[in-house]
């Protein structure tokens, strides 16, 4: 009998060819609707492998009932949605999809920097809404990106890819990370700063921090008060690294100038959320890695990880 694999969201069939050969595969048929908890519990109890989304919460309760589960392959580089410690105690391998999404996510981070600084969304809406009557010297004038200072918080692979892009914009590059990155300091001319020094000096503060006990709420009121009044805050990491009420207050009081956000404390964000009411905020629906090419590669990598484990081989990208 073939092992049983459940996929928690609809994926393109062509990414599943290999997996279909070795396993009985069932897929939640909806693209934009998460699996309800009771279905997830029932499937987890039966499954040898699960291919999961960052919106699925894999806590201890769920993992403990998954008695034949060998592998959870998360379609994301982040894995804060999975209780890694419990999984590892139970001998369940957790895999993520690093590397294949690095450049696409860095592109999106840079899109948000440019969109926010140069008021792209506001300007595009202005034209489409028929408000464009005449060219104006300061009409929709924003802030420059080139030659400014970028402060990258979370200098992993994506952080370095953002720094490479920033270099092309002649930016001064500061970074903060748990560990220093001597190679990046040389090759990208990136300067290590402690968190508050980085906040003080940066025109663009870019969070790529994963969600951990140390990063939860690190962008709090004090952090925003350390930033320049002209600063733009960009978040392409995890929403919960930010105290959103402190961010709202900082934007309303003009403690900082704007924000470009791909991630939120609660996703999807409530359409009536204060952050969405401010014109200096560009908000996106967690699309950091969402190019078709990259999402296909992520799905293929997640499937290969499951295939390898179910075949008794080493996975390519286990979470360590
Ligand atoms: C997206 O947020 C990811 O972790 O891949
Ligand atoms: C995080 O793991 C990254 O790739 O930046």
In tens, the pLDDT along 81-100 reads 999 999 999 999 999 999 99
Residue 109 C-alpha to ligand 2 middle, in angstroms? 13
Strand order in the sheet with 24-27: 24-27, 4-7, 49-52, 71-74, 93-95
The answer to whether 67 and 90 are in contact (CB under 8 A) is no
List, for residues 153-189, the tens digit of each pLDDT value: 999 999 999 999 999 999 999 999 999 999 999 999 9
Spatial separation of the C-alpha atoms in residues 308 and 314, rounded to whole Å: 6
Is residue 319 assigned to a domain? no
The answer to whether 82 and 72 are in contact (CB under 8 A) is yes
User: Which residues' Cβ are closer than 6 Å to ligand 2?
Assistant: 77, 98, 102, 156-159, 208
Q: Which residues are catalytic?
A: 238, 267, 286
198 and 141 in a common domain: yes
268 and 139 in a common domain: yes
Which tokens belong to 248? 């709202």
60 and 166 in a common domain: no
pLDDT at 320: 76
Whole domain around residue 216: which residue ranges?
102-283
87 and 112 in a common domain: no
Is residue 318 assigned to a domain? no
Which tokens belong to 47? 């499954």
CATH number at residue 39: 3.40.50.720
List, for residues 103-158, the tens digit of each pLDDT value: 999 999 999 999 999 999 999 999 999 999 999 999 999 999 999 999 999 999 99
Is residue 223 assigned to a domain? yes
Q: Give the DSSP letter of residue 259.
A: E
117 and 257 in a common domain: yes
Is residue 320 assigned to a domain? no
> pTM score, two decimals?
0.96
Domain count for the chain, please give it. 2
């Amino acid at each position: 009998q073939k092992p049983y694999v459940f996929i928690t969201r609809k994926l393109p069939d062509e990414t599943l060819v290999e997996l279909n050969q070795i396993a009985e595969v069932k897929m939640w048929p909806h693209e934009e609707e998460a699996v309800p908890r009771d279905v997830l519990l029932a499937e987890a109890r039966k499954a040898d492998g699960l291919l999961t989304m960052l919106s699925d919460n894999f806590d201890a309760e769920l993992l403990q009932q998954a008695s034949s589960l060998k592998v959870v392959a998360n379609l994301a580089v982040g894995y804060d949605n999975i209780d890694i410690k419990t999984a590892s105690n139970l001998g369940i391998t957790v895999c993520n999809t690093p590397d294949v999404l690095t450049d696409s996510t860095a592109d999106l981070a840079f899109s948000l920097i440019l969109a926010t600084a140069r008021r792209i969304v506001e300007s595009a809406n202005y034209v489409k809404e028929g408000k464009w009557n005449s060219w104006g010297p300061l009409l929709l004038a924003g802030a420059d990106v080139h030659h400014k200072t970028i402060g990258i918080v979370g200098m992993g692979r994506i952080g370095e890819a953002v720094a490479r892009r920033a270099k092309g914009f002649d930016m001064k590059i500061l970074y903060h990370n748990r560990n220093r990155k001597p190679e990046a300091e040389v090759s990208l001319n990136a300067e290590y700063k402690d968190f508050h020094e980085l906040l003080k000096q940066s025109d663009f503060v870019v969070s790529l921090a994963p969600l951990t006990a140390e990063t939860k709420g690190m962008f709090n009121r004090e952090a925003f008060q350390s930033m320049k009044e002209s600063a733009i805050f960009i978040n392409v990491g995890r929403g919960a690294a930010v105290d959103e009420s402190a961010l709202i207050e900082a934007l309303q009081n003009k403690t900082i100038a704007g924000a470009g956000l791909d991630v939120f404390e609660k996703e999807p964000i409530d359409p009536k959320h204060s952050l969405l009411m401010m014109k200096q905020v560009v908000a996106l629906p967690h699309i950091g890695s969402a190019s078709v090419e990259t999402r296909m590669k992520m799905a293929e990598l997640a499937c290969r990880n499951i295939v390898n484990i179910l075949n008794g081989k080493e996975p390519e990208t286990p979470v360590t």
